[in-house]
Structure 1
Amino acid sequence: MRTVEEHQAVVAALLEQLPEEQVELTAAHGRVLARDVRAAVALPGFDNSAMDGYAARWDELAELPARLPVADDIPAGRTDVRPLEPGTVQRIMTGAPLPAGADVVVPVELTDRATDVVTIHETPDKGTHVRTAGEDIAEGSVALAAGTPLGASQLGLAAAVGVTTLPVRRRPRVLVLSTGSELVEPGQPLRPGQIYESNSMLLVAAVEDAGGEARRLHFVPDDVEAFLTTLRAELDSADLLLTSGGVSAGAYEVVKDALSGLGTVEFVKVGMQPGGPQGAGTVDGVPIVTLPGNPVSSFVSFEVFVRPALRRALGHANPDRLRAPARLTASLTSPAGKRQFLRGRYDGGLVSQVGGPGSHLVAHLARANCLVVVPEDVTELPEGAEVDVVLIEGALQ
Structure 2
Amino acid sequence: MSPFDTFVVVDWSGGNDRGATPKKDAIWACIARDGHSEEPVYLRNRQVAEAWLRDLLEAETAARRRVMVGFDFPFGYPAGFCHALTGGDDPLVLWDWLEKQINDAPNGNNRFDVAGEINRTIGNGSGPFWGNGLSRDINGLPRNKTDYANEFVERRVCEQQAKGSFACWQLSGAGAVGSQILMGLPVLARLRQHFAGAVAVWPFEPLDTPVALVEIWPGLINPVVKQAEVNGELRDVAQVRLLAGALSRLAPLALDEMLAVDAPEEGWIMGLGHEERLIEAAREPIAPPPLRNDCFALPAGVAWTPVEDALDMLRTRLNPVTGTETIPLQDAFGRVLAQDVIAARSNPPQPNSAVDGYGFAGGAPEGAHVLPLIEGRAVAGVPFDGTVPSGHAIRILTGAAVPGGVDTVILEEDVTCDGDQIAFRGPLKAGANTRKAGEDVVAGDVALRVGREFTAADLALMSAVGIARVPVRKRLRVAVLSTGDELVEPGEAAAAGQIFDANRPMLLSMAGAFGFEAMDLGRVVDDRETLRARLDAAAQSADVILTSGGASAGDEDHVSALLQEAGAMQEWRIAIKPGRPLALGLWQGVPVFGLPGNPVAAMVCTLVFARPAMSLLAGAEWCEPQGFDVPAAFEKRKKPGRREYLRARVRDGRAEVFASEGSGRISGLSWAEGLVEIGDGERHIRPGDPVRFIPYGSFGL
Fold equivalence (TM over 0.5): yes
Residue ranges of structure 1 left out of the alignment (5+ in a row): none
Q: Secondary structure at the match of 1:85?
A: coil
1:221 is the counterpart of 2:525: yes
Q: How far 1:357 moved relative to its partner? A: 1.6
Task: Specify the alignment match of 2:388 in structure 1.
Answer: 84
Structure 2 gaps, min length 5: 1-303
Work out the CA distance in 1 between the residues paired with 2:438 and 2:535. 55
1:361 aligns with 2:665: yes
SS in 2 for 1:120: strand
Q: Which moved more, 1:57-66 or 1:88-97?
A: 57-66
Using the TM superposition, give the Cα deviation of residue 320 of structure 1 relative to its aligned residue in structure 2, in angstroms: 1.6
Kindly provide the amino acid, as one letter, of the partner of residue 307 in structure 2: V
Query: Percent same amino acid at aligned positions?
Result: 34
Q: Which amino acid aligns with 1:83?
A: T
Q: Counterpart in 2 of 1:3? A: 306
Q: What does residue 689 of structure 2 align with? A: 385
Deviation at 1:368, TM superposition (A): 2.2
Aligned pairs (5 A) from 1:1-397: 1-9=304-312, 11=314, 15-18=318-321, 19-57=323-361, 64=368, 66=370, 68-79=372-383, 81-112=385-416, 116-123=419-426, 125-126=428-429, 127-346=431-650, 350-378=654-682, 380-393=684-697
Q: Displacement, 1:58? A: 5.0
Which region of structure 1 is more displaced relative to structure 2, 252-261 or 93-102?
252-261
Q: In structure 2, the residue corresponding to 1:143 is in which secondary structure?
A: strand
In the TM superposition, residue 84 of structure 1 has moved relative to its aligned partner by 0.5
Per the alignment, do residues 63 and 279 of structure 1 end up closer, same or farther by CA in structure 2, a change over 3 Å counting?
A: closer
Is the partner of 1:234 in helix, strand or coil? helix
Is the CA contact 1:296–1:359 (under 8 Å) kept in the aligned structure 2? yes
C-alpha change, 1:223 and 1:52, in structure 2 (3 Å) is same
Contact map agreement 1:211 1:311 (CA 8 A) in 2: no
- CA separation of 1:14 and 1:54: change in aligned 2, threshold 3 A: closer
Q: Distance in 2 between matches of 1:13 and 1:54?
A: 57
Residue 249 of structure 1 and its aligned partner are, at CA, apart by 4.9
Deviation digits for residues 334-369 of structure 1 (CA, Å, limit 9, x no counterpart): 344322111122468642222322112222112323
Shift of 1:326: 3.2
Amino acid corresponding to residue 576 of structure 2 in structure 1 = M
Secondary structure (helix, strand or coil) at the match of 1:383 reads coil
d(CA) in 2 for partners of 1:7, 1:160 = 41
Higher relative contact order structure (alpha carbons within 8 Å, sequence separation ≥ 6): 1
Q: As a proportion of its length, which structure holds more helix?
A: 2
Indicate how the Cα distance of structure 1 residues 336 and 99 shifts in structure 2: closer, same or farther if over 3 A, else same.
closer
TM-score with structure 1 setting the length? 0.88
Judged with a 3 Å threshold, the aligned counterparts in structure 2 of structure 1 residues 98 and 351 are, in CA distance, closer, same or farther, namely same
Task: Report the CA distance between 1:141 and its aligned residue.
Answer: 1.8
AA aligned opposite 2:306? T
How many residues are aligned here?
395
- CA 1:369/1:207 → structure 2, altered by over 3 Å: closer, same or farther? same
Q: 1:94 to 1:258 in 2, by over 3 A?
A: same
Cα separation, 1, equivalents of 2:364 and 2:428? 12
Give 3-state SS (helix, strand or coil) of 1:83's partner. Answer: coil
Q: Check whether the contact 1:343–1:355 (CA below 8 A) recurs between aligned residues.
A: no
Contact residue 308 and residue 320 of structure 1 kept, 8 A: yes
Residue 49 of structure 1 aligns to which amino acid in structure 2? S
CA distance in 1, matches of 2:632, 2:422: 63
Give the distance between the partners of 1:88 and 1:288, measured in 2 at CA: 72
Shift in CA distance, 377/60, structure 1 to aligned 2, threshold 3 Å: closer
Whether the aligned pair in 1 keeps the contact of 2:538 and 2:545 (CA below 8 Å) is no
Alignment CA distance shift 1:263-1:130 (3 Å): closer
Superposed CA RMSD: 2.8
Task: Report the residue type matching 1:44 in the other structure.
Answer: P
Tell me the SS of whatever aligns to 1:217. Answer: strand
1:74-117 deviation per Cα after TM superposition (whole angstroms, max 9, x unaligned): 22111452110245322111111111112322222233455x32
Residue range with higher mean Cα deviation, 310-319 or 217-226: 310-319
After TM superposition, the structure 1 stretch with the greater mean CA deviation from structure 2, 262-271 or 158-167, is: 262-271
Larger radius of gyration: 2
Instruction: In structure 1, give the amino acid aligned to 2:407.
Output: D
Q: Judging changes above 3 Å, is the alpha-carbon distance between structure 1 residues 223 and 112 closer, same or farther for their aligned structure 2 residues?
A: same
Shift of 1:302: 0.8
Contact 1:183 1:197 in 2 (8 A): yes
Deviations 1:204-243 (A, max 9, x none): 2222333322211111222222222222122111111110
Within 1, Cα distance between the matches of 2:314 and 2:365?
A: 69
Q: How far, CA to CA, are the matches of 2:615 and 2:565 in structure 1?
A: 30
- CA offset at residue 379 of structure 1? 5.0
CA gap 1:75/1:377 in 2 versus in 1, 3 angstroms: closer
Tell me, what secondary structure is at the counterpart of 2:513? helix
